[in-house]
Amino acid sequence: LFVDQPLNEGGSLRIEGNQAHYLLNVMRLTEGAAVKLFDDISGEYLGRVGARGKRDLMIEIEGLTRPREAVPDFWLCAAPIKKARFDFLAEKACELGVARFVPVLTDRAVVDKVKDDRLRGTMIEAAEQCERTALPEIAPLTRLDALLKAWPEGRHLFFADERLHDGSGGSLAAKLAAHLGPAGVLIGPEGGFTDAENAAIRAHPAAVPVSLGPRILRAETAAITATAVWMAANGD
Ligand code: SAM
């Protein structure tokens, strides 16, 4: 269970709202039951259910079970797509272990608004499900030109370029192996990048254009594939 406050061994906390409803009425936890909690600061703790009310309960924090995990230094930068698909993408990004999720506004965007709270809720649920002890940072919706301008030195920018699906891009595995270390991947919207955007990305000194294979993948499939392959290449 994610708790949005610092946890301390020997401390206690009151759980209210949806989380209390989940623990009391869905999980039906009784006094003394064990609960795992994480705070995205120091890590995961073992807690025990204490006094229970109708709509709230106390949890006594016993001890740290796992320190906050070391998060692979990988950013997923993706143009927003339709809500259900973007939620799916955010969920998988969290499960796969990304450090930072950046929604990117591009010329062919069909979606130009992102609800950060909704994305965060999706990622919290994903983190709880896969027992992550850290949450990805969610960046505000960022224009492509601003993203390129602010891209940090020393971070590879893998550009998933669907135009390379004809096989002209070389092997993804070889490109990843030749560019290990901090990185991000840039995934376009359903309509792909415009010629001008493609040229601007390629002109960036950190850009490494990559093909994700001979088929044109949906944006969310492309994002998940690139992230999983980067994690595998970097041993994360
Ligand atoms: N422009 C295409 C179209 O609308 O027919 C497809 C865009 S694709 C659905 C969305 C994004 O996924 C692309 O901008 C690219 O970043 C990524 N992508 C999909 N297939 C890819 C491939 N085979 N290689 C590299 N990137 C790919």
CATH of the domain at 19: 2.40.240.20
In the predicted model, what is the mean pLDDT of residues 37-62? 96
Tell me: pLDDT of 167 over 80.
no
Give the whole-angstrom CA distance, residue 73 versus residue 100: 8
What confidence score (pLDDT) does residue 113 get?
86
169 — pLDDT class (breaks 50, 70, 90): confident
What confidence score (pLDDT) does residue 228 get?
96
DSSP 174-225: HHHHHS-SSEEEEE--TT---HHHHHHHHHSTTEEEE---SS---HHHHHHH
Q: CB count, 10 Å around CB of 110? A: 11
Q: How far is the CA of 215 from the centre of ligand 1 (A)?
A: 9
CATH number at residue 196: 3.40.1280.10
Mean pLDDT, rounded, of the chain: 94
Q: How far is the CA of 144 from the centre of ligand 1 (A)?
A: 16
What confidence score (pLDDT) does residue 14 get?
96
Q: How far is the CA of 193 from the centre of ligand 1 (A)?
A: 8
Indicate if 20 and 90 belong to the same structural domain.
no
Tell me: pLDDT of 172 over 90.
no
Q: Which helix (H) or strand (E) holds 38?
A: strand 34-38
What confidence score (pLDDT) does residue 168 get?
77
DSSP 58-73: EEEEEEEEEEPPPPP-
Q: How far is CA 71 from the centre of its chain?
A: 11
Paired with 125 in beta bridges are none
In the predicted model, what is the mean pLDDT of residues 216-233? 95
Atom of ligand 1 nearest to the CA of 190: 9
Indicate if 89 and 148 belong to the same structural domain.
yes
Indicate if 218 and 121 belong to the same structural domain.
yes
pLDDT above 70: percentage of residues in the chain: 100
Terminal alpha carbon distance of the chain: 23
Domain range enclosing 163: 74-233
Burial label, 73 (beta-carbon count in 10 A; 0-12, 13-18, 19+): middle
Q: CA distances (Å), 103 to each of 89, 127, 140, 189, in order? A: 11, 19, 7, 10
Indicate if 108 and 183 belong to the same structural domain.
yes
Q: List residues near ligand 1 (CB under 6 A).
A: 160-162, 164-165, 187-188, 190-193, 211-213, 215-219, 222
Retrieve residue 123's tokens.
């990622």
Indicate if 31 and 105 belong to the same structural domain.
no
Atom of ligand 1 nearest to the CA of 159: 16
What confidence score (pLDDT) does residue 36 get?
96
CA dihedral 233, 211, 78, 230 (to 10 degrees): 0
Half-sphere exposure of 216 (CA within 13 A, CB side): 7
pLDDT tens figures, 192-214: 999 999 999 999 999 999 999 99
* Structural domain ending residue among the three candidates 44, 67, 90: 67
Q: Looking at ligand 1, which residue's alpha carbon is closest to its atom 12?
A: 219
Say which range, 33-37, 40-44, 154-158, 162-166, has the weakest mean pLDDT: 162-166
pLDDT tens figures, 69-123: 999 999 999 999 999 999 999 999 999 999 999 999 999 988 888 999 999 999 9
What confidence score (pLDDT) does residue 201 get?
98
Whether 161 and 209 have beta carbons less than 8 Å apart is answered as yes
In the predicted model, what is the mean pLDDT of residues 202-231? 95
pLDDT tens figures, 140-166: 999 999 999 999 999 999 999 999 887
pLDDT above 90: percentage of residues in the chain: 89
Atom of ligand 1 nearest to the CA of 164: 24
Whether 164 and 125 have beta carbons less than 8 Å apart is answered as no
Q: CB count, 10 Å around CB of 87? A: 20
